[in-house]
Amino acid sequence: MMRKWGKYLIILFAIVLSACGKPEAKYVFFFIGDGMGPVQVNAAERYLASMEGRNGIVPLAMNLAHSRGNITTYSQNSYITDSGAAVTALATGNKTSNQTLSMDAEHRYPFKTIAEAAKERGMKVGIISTVDIDHATPAGYYAHQPKRSNYYEIGIQLANSNFDFFGGGGFRNITDPKGFDPVNVIDLAKKNGYLYINNATAFNYLEPGAGRVLFVHPAVSDDYAMPYSIDMDEGSIALSQITQKAIDMIDNPDGFFIMVEGGKIDWACHGNDAAATIHDVLALDEAVKVALEFYSKHKNNTLIIITADHECGGMTMGTSYGDSNMDLSKLQWQMGSFMELTREYHAIRKGLLDVLGEEALKADSSWAFDFILTQTGLGDESKGLGFNSYEIKELSVAYSRSFDEKNYNDPYEYIKYGSYDAFMIAASHMLSRKVGIGWSTFSHTGIPVPIRAFGAGAQNFAGYYDNTEVYNRLLDIIKK
Amino acid sequence: MMRKWGKYLIILFAIVLSACGKPEAKYVFFFIGDGMGPVQVNAAERYLASMEGRNGIVPLAMNLAHSRGNITTYSQNSYITDSGAAVTALATGNKTSNQTLSMDAEHRYPFKTIAEAAKERGMKVGIISTVDIDHATPAGYYAHQPKRSNYYEIGIQLANSNFDFFGGGGFRNITDPKGFDPVNVIDLAKKNGYLYINNATAFNYLEPGAGRVLFVHPAVSDDYAMPYSIDMDEGSIALSQITQKAIDMIDNPDGFFIMVEGGKIDWACHGNDAAATIHDVLALDEAVKVALEFYSKHKNNTLIIITADHECGGMTMGTSYGDSNMDLSKLQWQMGSFMELTREYHAIRKGLLDVLGEEALKADSSWAFDFILTQTGLGDESKGLGFNSYEIKELSVAYSRSFDEKNYNDPYEYIKYGSYDAFMIAASHMLSRKVGIGWSTFSHTGIPVPIRAFGAGAQNFAGYYDNTEVYNRLLDIIKK
């Protein structure tokens, strides 16, 4: 009897629901972990539990989303995508060729991005990345270029975008590298009403009403990106703080669209650097928590999406050599990213070369072993990171090869060392292997990546579908 | 106005729904791809598209499930589980130690399994696997043993289980290897009312009303498992046919619980054999289609779950060496599983050894290169599988090492060759690498695995949770 009533009420309910309309998301957060496949996230979760000395995981905030799906990532011309084609799919709903940015594969016309559509609907837009703000993923939301490496042209399009908040890394080319165009990107941005900020004091004092913001992190280095999270000084501005600042600055009754990229997850994975990867995943999760805090106050119309453009590195959680308990806490002895450690390593080597000459230095690798011992714990028996004779041999061979930097003609040497310093990448691989993490490539892979959603319309993102569909599903539920 | 009405109706609807009760699943299919992580499935999807000469994927039926989640797989004592602890979690909802089967970690008491609970509720039960039916995953549903290798004791528990249908692989120990117990497992099963069938004719003529069935595939070999799908003769009984037969035999008004394991996916992944993995994933998907066909006729009370106990192999879709287009169609030239090919390889080698002696044979690897050329296409330029000089060297080194079988003292040789024939595993790795597939281990990994669900109560399985929760969620919605 009750069942029968229930049936009629379901029909009635469905009618009313369709009359009432779909959920509408006025505040949209779109998080992209660049290169962040399922294993990158699981490694961070396992790391947290390992640091507590226990089995299992500590789930990340992003993984508490009930609505979960997976998206395929292949580009128009390759099963393994680059970040240009991937962001074009996510931001515009179109497949394009690798290296292209929010244009068709033949570079004839631009595709409108979800950020541009949000802007048209009266929402404010924020674009945040830990890498240079003219890099493929952030650029895909405001720029349209046949080549993602057109950094100067991308910068000009940023300055002309009318978007409301940019934050994170800097610019690769503020001036035209070809020398044709006299316009300076920063000057143009200022002329177009952006408040350009690149120090912590100004960032901290920044308050709503200051207008459009272009914030470049004070610690950006030669590569124009924010430091890896593992390399950050205490008190340095974190991705989560930039996310909070973007909310503070552009929160308004007409809503907003904020894209936040954890861009250096990808860079860490290119370098097969497990600890740097984990710390940047955790930094992205802290930014997700900021969005979740906002969501808790605006549950009816806030949507938070967390996904990736592709996986990078072919990261796995188990090796033939590794411990089946995956004690990732052994990564805690790594004092910085391998990219940063390699810079230090090269600086020390240069000093020694000047004193000893190449032949003598090649014959003595003890300083290099000392360096990785103090900087990563590798070789320290008491940390469970002692060497066997084969490992010493492996590192010694790599040490000799590291004098011929990036000159690996033998394809097998390329598989081993990529375009990295042979000794330092061998050390990175060895550390990963000892804690149980595997890598299959220095480049991207083709696996589908997770998509997770919280809030208004979240259920739209469940299922298994192509990355180009994300745009349509999003457009369907953001504020009309 | 309509919105306000909608709100009241939602409340009313919720009240009525809770009064009407939750969805109830009377017909439950539980598919386990042993070792089938997300990449194993994606590889099969990419293979199908590659065979059509196009980019992207052909989604598997199992992946069309809207309700999707991920489950952690770690065991009570290890982040990387074995199949014993994993099936204990899935079948009973309890963590246990690796190697244990549906008992607590200290081996004091048995845990009731979901199949036993279904039986108590009056449902019929079918247990199907492509590997030996006394192997950990199928055994976890009907047996309780401190050691998964207690094959004889497991066989006795099968014969006493009262379950209604067993099908697939055979038994490792039909008689007591210790010689204490005179009971023969098959005899006991017959005595307990099982119709024992091990030929195709009897299988085909098997009709409802014949009573309890114990079907052992006619092509089981020395390892008591069904052949790999890639090795099956045309017309051989497929996993999907066994699934269909189980439905035919145990379909009844009180419902059923059928567990179907694709057990050799795991074995193929242990051997890092991409083609064998893909074909066994496809065979499991065919069995899922049979369940979906049943579901289409009983939508209100059929539940289909597809998951895995753990990942195996650390499979990835990209290598530093591989093609970014991942042309998996190049795997089509592989004529059988590497396990089967290795058997043939050893048979040929034995013949040559008898004629030539070890020294002469070690000096001439040409026959081995010929063998992999004809059996896998490796070395064939016209198939895009030509060798460079480094690859020839790599295989030649492995050829020499293959005379000292399974005796790799150097841990790096173990990483390369595992416990496999050095030459054949080197060939398997090379083939994977050439098509773009990476592996990080010969063993299991610790990543969370997908869980997918169709039908009544499917939404209960969305989210991110531990494998032990699957049991409770299932118990909650199967027929009371």
Chain B positions in Cβ-Cβ contact with residue A42 (cut-off 8 Å): 446-448
- Contact between B331 and B274 under an 8 Å Cβ cutoff? The reply is yes
Query: In degrees to the nearest 10, what's the CA dihedral of A275, A280, A283, A285?
Result: -100
Residue A16 makes CB contacts below 8 A (sequence gap 6+) with B2, B5, B6, B9
Distance from CA of B177 to the nearest CA of A (A): 31
Question: Total structural domains in chain B?
Answer: 2
Report the residue of chain A nearest B66, measured CA to CA. Answer: A463
Length of chain B counted residue by residue? 480
Instruction: Verify whether the Cβ–Cβ distance A446 to B317 is below 8 Å.
Output: yes
Tell me whether residue B9 is in a domain: no
Residues of A in contact with B320 (CB under 8 A): 414-415, 418, 440-443
Q: How confident is the model at residue A353 (pLDDT cuts 50, 70, 90)?
A: very high
Task: Quote the ipTM score.
Answer: 0.93
Given A390, A411, A441, which is nearest B411 (Cβ)? Answer: A390
pLDDT tens-digit readout, A18-37: 445 678 999 999 999 999 99
What was the pLDDT predicted at B410? 74
- Distance from first CA to last CA of chain B, Å, rounded? 42
Indicate if B282 and B227 belong to the same structural domain.
yes
pLDDT at residue A1 in the model: 41
Which domain, by its residues, includes A190?
A: 27-316+448-475
Helix (H) or strand (E) holding A373: helix A366-376
pTM of the model as a whole: 0.94
Q: Do B441 and A316 touch (CB under 8 A)?
A: yes
**In this structure, which amino acid lies at residue A334?**
Q
Paired residues of A452 in beta bridges: A68, A306
pLDDT at A184: 97
At residue B19, the pLDDT reads: 43
Instruction: Decide: B94 and B105 in contact? Cβ < 8 Å.
Output: no
Q: Check: CB of residue B117 under 8 Å from CB of residue B475.
A: yes
Q: Decide the pairing of beta strands A124-129 and A194-197.
A: unpaired
Percentages helix, strand, coil for chain B (3-state, rounded to 5) are: 45, 15, 40
Q: Which residue of B has its CA nearest to A62?
A: B464
- What residue of B is the nearest CA neighbor of A271? B320
Query: Is residue B241 included in any domain, yes or no?
Result: yes
Bridge partners of A352, per DSSP, are none
Residue B213 structure tokens: 């069935």
**CA dihedral over A221, A226, A232, A237, signed as positive or negative:** positive
H/E run at residue A275: helix A274-297
Whether residue B464 is found in the same domain as residue B382:
no
At what angle are helices B2-20 and A2-20 packed, to 10 degrees? 150
Chain B residues with CB under 8 Å of A390 CB are 410-412
Evaluate whether residue A266 is within a structural domain.
yes
**In terms of domains, do A114 and A149 share one?**
yes
Residue B324 domain flag: no
Place of tokens 């994977």: B432
Helix or strand or coil: residue B375? Answer: helix
For position B21, what pLDDT does the model report?
Answer: 60
Q: How high is the pLDDT of residue A23? A: 82
Same domain, B294 and B381: no
Chain A nearest-CA distance from B187, in A, is 40
In whole angstroms, give the CA distance from residue B159 to residue B449. Answer: 32
* B365 & B219 share domain: no
| Separation of alpha carbons B314 and B148, rounded Å | 24
In this structure, the answer to whether residues A275 and A358 fall within a common structural domain is no
* B312, B315, B316: best to mutate for the A interface, most A CBs within 10 A: B316
For residue A16, name the pLDDT band (cuts at 50, 70, 90).
Answer: very low
Residue A47 has, within 13 A of its CA and on its CB side, a CA count of: 22
Query: How confident is the model at residue B305, as a pLDDT?
Result: 98
The pLDDT-based confidence of A11 (bands split at 50, 70, 90) is: low
Find tokens 């990158």 and name the residue: A40
The low-confidence residues of chain B, meaning pLDDT below 50, are: 1-2, 15-19
Indicate whether B128 belongs to any domain: yes
Same domain as B304, residue B180 = yes
H-assigned helices in B178-251:
185-191, 200-205, 239-250
Interface test with A, best of B327, B329, B443, B447 (most A CBs within 10 A): B447
Give the pLDDT confidence score for residue B414 in this predicted structure: 83
B3 within some domain: no
The CATH number covering residue B130 comes to: 3.40.720.10
pLDDT score at B412: 78
Residue B23 vs residues A42, B26, B151: alpha-carbon distances, Å: 32, 10, 38
pLDDT, mean over chain A:
94
In b/e form, how buried is each residue of A15-33, taking b as 16+ CB within 10 angstroms?
Answer: ebeeebeebbbbbbbbbbb
Report CB contact under 8 Å: B318, A443.
yes
Give the amino acid at B313. Answer: G
Q: Tell if the CB–CB gap between A320 and B68 is shorter than 8 Å.
A: no
Pairing mode, if any, of strands B27-33 and A27-33? unpaired
DSSP secondary structure string, A320-371?
SSS-TT--GGGGGG--S-HHHHHHHHHHHHHHHHHHH-HHHHHH--HHHHHH
Measured CA to CA, the distance from residue B200 to residue B344 in angstroms comes to: 26
* Whole-number CA gyration radius for chain A: 24
Whether residues B55 and A79 touch (CB distance < 8 A) is answered with: yes
Which among A63, A390, A414 has CB closest to B412? A390
Name the pairing type of β-strands A444-445 and B27-33.
unpaired
Sign of the torsion angle spanned by Cα atoms A92, A97, A100, A103 = negative
- Are residues B99 and B237 located together in one domain of the fold? yes
For B152-169, the DSSP string reads HHHHHHHHTS--SEEEES
pLDDT on residue B1: 41
Residues paired with residue B307 on neighbouring β-strands, in sequence order? B32
Given the structure tokens 């809503």, which residue do they identify? Answer: A255
Judgement on whether residues B131 and B214 belong to the same structural domain of the protein: yes
In terms of domains, do B83 and B195 share one?
A: yes
Contact B318 A444 (CB under 8 A): yes
Q: CA of B170 to nearest chain A CA: how many angstroms apart?
A: 30
Strand pairing report for A67-72 and A124-129? unpaired
Mean pLDDT of chain B: 94
Same domain, B345 and B242: no
pLDDT (tens digit per residue) in A50-104: 999 999 999 999 999 989 999 999 999 999 999 999 999 999 999 999 999 999 9
The answer to whether position B20 is within a domain reads: no
Instruction: Indicate whether A218 belongs to any domain.
Output: yes
One domain for residues B31 and B164: yes
Count of other CB atoms within 10 angstroms of residue A42:
25
